Amino acid sequence: MSPPALQLRALAKTYGERTAVAGIDLDVAPGEILGLLGPNGAGKTTTISMACGVVTPTRGEVMIGGLSLARDPYGAKRRLGLVPQELALYEELSARANLAYFGALYGMSAAAIATRGDWVLGVVGLADRDREPVKRYSGGMKRRLNLACGLLHEPALLVLDEPTVGVDPQSRNHIFETVRALRTAGMTIVYTTHYMEEVEALCDRVAIMDAGRLIALGTVRELIAQHAGRGLAIEITGDVAAAEVAAAAHADVRREGATLHATPHAGLGALVSAIEATGATITRIESRQATLEAAFLALTGHALRDDDAPAPPTSKAATP
Amino acid sequence: MIAAAIWKDMQLLLRDRGTLISLFALPIVFIVAFGAMFSGGGTSPDVPRPIAIWHPTPSPAGEVVERALAATPGFTPQPLASADAVRAAVAAGTVDAGLVIAADVDPAHGHPVELAIDLAAPIQVRAPLTGALTAVVTRALGAPVGAELVYLEARQPPGIRKPLPDISGFQITVPGNAVLFGFYIALTVAMSFAGERRTGTWRRLLAAPVPRWKVMLATLVPYYVIGLIQLTFLFGLGASLFGMRVAGSIPALVVLSMCVVLCAVCLGLLFASLGGTEKQLGSVGSVCLLVMGLLGGCMVPRLLMPDTMRSIGHIVPHSWALDGYYDLLVREGTGFSDIAPSLGALAGFAALFALIGLRRFRFET
Ligand SMILES: Nc1ncnc2c1ncn2[C@@H]1O[C@H](COP(=O)(O)OP(=O)(O)OP(=O)(O)O)[C@@H](O)[C@H]1O
Ligand SMILES: [Mg+2]
């Protein structure tokens, strides 16, 4: 059996007092797309930077295709392609000139850079604009070139750090399709994002990070089944704190403003009666679709993005 | 890979109008502007100076001149043991000029007083001194009115090399500005590091299967090459357009220039290791380089500065570079041995900058 495409063992990074990554164990199987999901500052970039040899870990080990990054850095790095979170491009240069330089870093010959460049520019749909300075590209085109630069040397493992930030829907779809096509061709992909939809649409498995820790790992289906049970959102007017205490006897409850997020232990009736017994009025009850968002909420106790509303309602129950 | 880096940075440079202007166009403007200034009349720095003097004893003429010199404000006679001692003192630079009054001195019959002075010194330094001393000697020896006698004849003492005949201001302003703007490569180097970090290309470099020392060289070497091109361009232009001439050895000039660029690139590494943003580097760095250039005599030759400023100049590599260029451009027959102190100092500065830079530089931030 081939070794995992990527193995992280007790990988940790501290910056002075601050712990960016607090010890992560993770295996990425060959040929899978693994989503690395987490809010801002969760430690995603730090984790993959350590996995790529960009940041030296404080503790722990990285193996790429069975090669230790510490002991055989060049062998390990050759198998790996990194697409940084930033647009890591020379904006004054053309796509071709960028590829030429990054290809040279991997010891590619000029001929190989040219033929592989044709392929990779075709894949990301930039073949017809390849001689233009990158600064004239749209945001989405730059993102696609950013991806192309990480692909040029045919890595077995491709690490993407938020590859769709700030792109138009068209470029985003293009990137999705590229990633799927690469997986079909046998490439292993680690896909970092803070968009749930991307993970649900693309990834075979999800690793959820929060505050430097890996808090859940599994397929999207597994995570939803385990963590996003039959959730209810109960909107209340009156003494919400008292209602929460009362509800806690009948459900797992978490309060968010005037809303109680509850997973009842038994029937809905006992829960509703207990809340109403405190004198509070239930203005609305929503049952939530079991989404990754809900699983994330249940796991971390907060939304993935600050601007996110809690998961979208799917069915509205009339007030009793 | 380094070749690819050079190629990449060349392309980047050709598209970066700001840097192109500051490295190649601005120095030309300065060379022309300062060149015009220096070809005009000289200034007269009227500072009190010791003047070496020798005459046989007894020597009525000698004693008269010595007394006259002592009576002249701004000069103090410094009697030495022999004519050669006077010449040697001038050659060593301990005094700016010396007077040798031989036993048979008789300006009226073709035996003038000898003025020992470095004829290669800038006219701005030499002219007022020669003029003042001529006046002192002439008055002391009592010139008949209207007589066109040579009382004083300037000669190059042995031990310092003879200058090229008719030196133009460009002999000074071309190297001055080549050094001033040559050191701006340091800023370009530091900004390039900061830019790679800002855009994230630095991450790509670190993720590539390339040792980190090579990543660093790939950022430094291209600018070393660009710096050499810059100096070649400026000296080439100086020679072809402004009539700048090289009095000494061309290979020595090439080696000196290589040391200057090396020193500048190492200074760039030092700047980069301080870890500022491009904006901070742009403002702090350029002021820093300007002050260094000023102290080092790039704008105003150090020979025109008071003694304390002249010595202070030695704390910057610019002064050593210019001393070397001055010898090679102005004095005939100068070679490696004449500019050895400059080469040594520049190499020392380069090593110091590189050492501090490497110790402080962080690949990860
Ligand atoms: N060089 C550094 N020095 C100090 N702290 C750092 C450094 N890099 C990251 N951190 C801290 O480590 C934590 C994790 O940062 P990281 O960039 O890995 O998060 P992230 O999950 O990628 O977030 P985002 O979604 O915003 O990209 C943050 O608190 C961050 O401030
Ligand atoms: Mg990040």
| Residue B118 belongs to domain with CATH number | 3.40.1710.10
Which residues of A have a CB under 8 Å from any CB of B?
A: 49, 52-56, 73-75, 77-78, 80, 82, 84-93, 97, 100-102, 104-107, 133, 149-150
Residue among B1, B16, B207 whose CB faces A77 most closely? B207
Of the pLDDT bands very low, low, confident and very high (cuts 50, 70, 90), residue A307 is: low
Q: Quick one: A239 and A94 in the same domain? A: no
3-state secondary structure (DSSP) of residue A208: strand
Whether residue A67 lies inside any domain: the answer is yes
Q: Quick one: A196 and A250 in the same domain? A: no
> CB atoms < 10 A from the CB of A80, how many?
28
3-state secondary structure (DSSP) of residue A31: coil
Whether residue B279 lies inside any domain: the answer is yes
> Is B2 an interface residue toward A (CB < 8 Å)?
no
**Structure token pair of residue B200:** 């994230």
CA of A268 to the centre of ligand 1 (A): 42
Q: What is the pLDDT of residues A167-218, one digit of tens each?
A: 888 888 889 999 999 999 999 999 999 888 888 889 999 999 999 999 989 9
Containing domain of residue A13, as a range? 6-224
CA of A220 to the centre of ligand 1 (A): 25
Q: What are phi and psi of B317, to 5 degrees?
A: -65, -25
Would the CB atoms of B210 and A52 count as touching at under 8 Å? no
Please tell me if the CB atom of residue A24 comes closer than 6 angstroms to any atom of ligand 1.
no
Please tell me if the CB atom of residue A55 comes closer than 6 angstroms to any atom of ligand 1.
no
Q: Which residues contact A34 (CB under 8 A, 6 or more apart)?
A: A26, A28, A188, A189, A190, A191, A203, A204, A205, A206, A207
Whether residue A178 lies inside any domain: the answer is yes
**Cβ atoms B174, B321 nearer than 8 A:** no
Residues of A in contact with B205 (CB under 8 A): 105
> Is B206 an interface residue toward A (CB < 8 Å)?
yes
Residues of B in contact with A15 (CB under 8 A): none
**Cβ atoms B263, B350 nearer than 8 A:** yes
Q: Quick one: A128 and A206 in the same domain? A: yes
Would the CB atoms of B12 and A85 count as touching at under 8 Å? no
Q: Quick one: A258 and A158 in the same domain? A: no
Number of domains in chain B: 2
Whether residue B13 lies inside any domain: the answer is no
Q: What are phi and psi of B287, to 5 degrees?
A: -65, -45
Q: Which of A172, A200, A224 finishes a domain?
A: A224
Nearest-by-CA chain A residue for B199? A88
Q: Quick one: A206 and A248 in the same domain? A: no
Nearest-by-CA chain B residue for A50? B207
Residues of A in contact with B6 (CB under 8 A): none
List per-residue pLDDT tens for chain B, 365 residues long: 889 999 999 889 888 888 888 888 888 888 887 776 665 433 344 456 889 999 998 888 888 889 888 888 888 899 999 999 999 999 988 898 999 999 888 887 888 889 999 888 877 788 888 888 888 888 888 755 445 556 677 777 777 777 777 677 788 889 999 999 999 999 999 999 999 999 999 999 999 999 999 999 999 999 999 999 999 999 999 999 888 889 999 999 999 999 999 999 999 999 999 988 888 898 889 899 999 999 999 988 888 888 888 889 999 999 999 999 999 998 888 999 999 999 999 999 999 999 999 999 999 98
Task: Find, among B248, B255, B182, the residue nearest to B22 by Cα.
Answer: B182
Q: Quick one: B222 and B300 in the same domain? A: yes
Q: Quick one: A239 and A261 in the same domain? A: yes
Containing domain of residue B133, as a range? 49-155
CA of A44 to the centre of ligand 2 (A): 5
Q: What is the pLDDT of residues A9-43, one digit of tens each?
A: 999 999 999 999 999 999 999 999 999 998 888 99
Q: Which residue, chain included where needed, has tokens 């520019």?
A: A121
Q: Which of B102, B121, B155 finishes a domain?
A: B155
Using CA atoms in the order A143, A149, A153, A157, what is the torsion angle rounded to 10 degrees? -40
Residues in chain B: 365
Number of domains in chain A: 2
Q: At what angle do helices B317-330 and B286-295 cross, to 10 degrees?
A: 50
**Structure token pair of residue B40:** 């005009």
Q: Quick one: A112 and A16 in the same domain? A: yes
Please tell me if the CB atom of residue A194 comes closer than 6 angstroms to any atom of ligand 1.
yes
DSSP class per residue in B239-274: HHHS-----S-HHHHHHHHHHHHHHHHHHHHHHHHT
Q: Quick one: A151 and A253 in the same domain? A: no
Q: Quick one: A173 and A280 in the same domain? A: no
Residues of B in contact with A71 (CB under 8 A): none
Q: Which atom of ligand 1 is nearest to the CA of A55?
A: 1
Mutation target to probe the B interface, by most B beta carbons within 10 A, among A49, A69, A90 is A90
Mean pLDDT of A79-93: 94
Q: Quick one: A212 and A94 in the same domain? A: yes
**Structure token pair of residue B26:** 């601005």
Please tell me if the CB atom of residue A304 comes closer than 6 angstroms to any atom of ligand 1.
no
Would the CB atoms of A77 and B12 count as touching at under 8 Å? no
Q: What is the pLDDT of residues A58-77, one digit of tens each?
A: 999 999 999 999 999 999 99
> CB atoms < 10 A from the CB of B45, how many?
15
Q: Which residues contact B35 (CB under 8 A, 6 or more apart)?
A: B168, B169, B170, B173, B174, B242
Q: What is the pLDDT of residues A209-243, one digit of tens each?
A: 999 999 989 998 888 777 766 678 888 888 888 88
Residue among B11, B12, B207 whose CB faces A52 most closely? B207
Burial of B20 (0-12, 13-18, 19+ CB in 10 A): middle
Whether residue B32 lies inside any domain: the answer is no
How far, in Å, CA of A280 to CA of A278, rounded?
6
Please choose from A46, A165, A196 the residue to mutate so as to test ligand 1's pocket, defined by most ligand atoms within 8 A of CB.
Answer: A46
What confidence score (pLDDT) does residue B44 get? 40
CATH code of the domain in which A35 resides? 3.40.50.300
Please tell me if the CB atom of residue A90 comes closer than 6 angstroms to any atom of ligand 1.
no
* Positive/negative CA dihedral, A136, A138, A143, A144: negative
Whether residue A304 lies inside any domain: the answer is no
Q: Quick one: B87 and B151 in the same domain? A: yes
Task: Find, among B183, B180, B179, the residue nearest to B271 by Cα.
Answer: B183
How far, in Å, CA of B14 to CA of B20, rounded?
7
Please tell me if the CB atom of residue A51 comes closer than 6 angstroms to any atom of ligand 1.
no
Q: Quick one: B332 and B263 in the same domain? A: yes
Residue among A86, A92, A104 whose CB faces B4 most closely? A104
pLDDT above 50 (res A97)? yes
CA of A46 to the centre of ligand 2 (A): 7
Query: Cα–Cα–Cα angle for B39, B44, B46, nearest 5°?
Result: 160
How far, in Å, CA of B136 to CA of B131, rounded?
9
Q: List strands edge to edge, sheet with B97-100.
A: B75-79, B49-54, B97-100, B113-117, B152-155
**Cβ atoms B163, B247 nearer than 8 A:** yes
* Atom 12 in ligand 1: residue holding the nearest Cα: A20
Q: Which atom of ligand 1 is nearest to the CA of A15?
A: 4
For residue B98, what are the β-bridge partners?
B52, B116
Residue among A49, A54, A106 whose CB faces B209 most closely? A106
DSSP class per residue in A94-135: BHHHHHHHHHHHTT--HHHHHHHHHHHHHHTT-GGGTTSBGG
> Is B252 an interface residue toward A (CB < 8 Å)?
no
CA of A293 to the centre of ligand 2 (A): 19
CA of A46 to the centre of ligand 1 (A): 6
Whether residue B24 lies inside any domain: the answer is no
Q: Quick one: B255 and B306 in the same domain? A: yes
Q: Quick one: A136 and A281 in the same domain? A: no
Would the CB atoms of A100 and B200 count as touching at under 8 Å? no
Q: Which residue, chain included where needed, has tokens 């392609």?
A: A81
Whether residue B68 lies inside any domain: the answer is yes
DSSP class of residue A267?
A: -
Whether residue A260 lies inside any domain: the answer is yes
Q: What is the pLDDT of residues B193-224, one digit of tens each?
A: 999 999 999 999 999 999 999 999 999 999 99
How far, in Å, CA of B295 to CA of B305, rounded?
10
Q: Which atom of ligand 1 is nearest to the CA of A19?
A: 12
How far, in Å, CA of A275 to CA of A278, rounded?
6
Task: Find, among B106, B39, B26, B54, the residue nearest to B289 by Cα.
Answer: B26
Whether residue B11 lies inside any domain: the answer is no
User: Between A and B, how many residue pairs show a Cβ–Cβ distance under 8 A?
Assistant: 84
Put residue A276 in one of left, alpha, beta given phi > 0 → left and psi -120 to 50 → alpha. Answer: alpha
Higher pLDDT, B228 or A277: B228
**Cβ atoms B43, B304 nearer than 8 A:** yes
Residues of A in contact with B209 (CB under 8 A): 73-75, 77-78, 105-107
Residues of A in contact with B204 (CB under 8 A): 82, 84, 88, 102, 105, 149-150
Q: Quick one: B125 and B212 in the same domain? A: no
Q: Quick one: B256 and B292 in the same domain? A: yes
Q: List strands edge to edge, sheet with A157-161.
A: A80-83, A157-161, A188-193, A33-37, A205-210, A213-218
In chain A, the percentage of residues whose pLDDT exceeds 90 is 58
Number of continuous H segments (helices) and E segments (strands) in chain B: 16, 5
Q: Which of B155, B174, B201 finishes a domain?
A: B155
pTM given for the model: 0.78
Of the pLDDT bands very low, low, confident and very high (cuts 50, 70, 90), residue A1 is: low
CATH code of the domain in which A267 resides? 3.30.70
Q: At what angle do helices B212-241 and B2-15 cross, to 10 degrees?
A: 50
Q: Quick one: A68 and A217 in the same domain? A: yes
3-state secondary structure (DSSP) of residue A277: helix
Strand pairing report for B97-100 and A259-264: unpaired
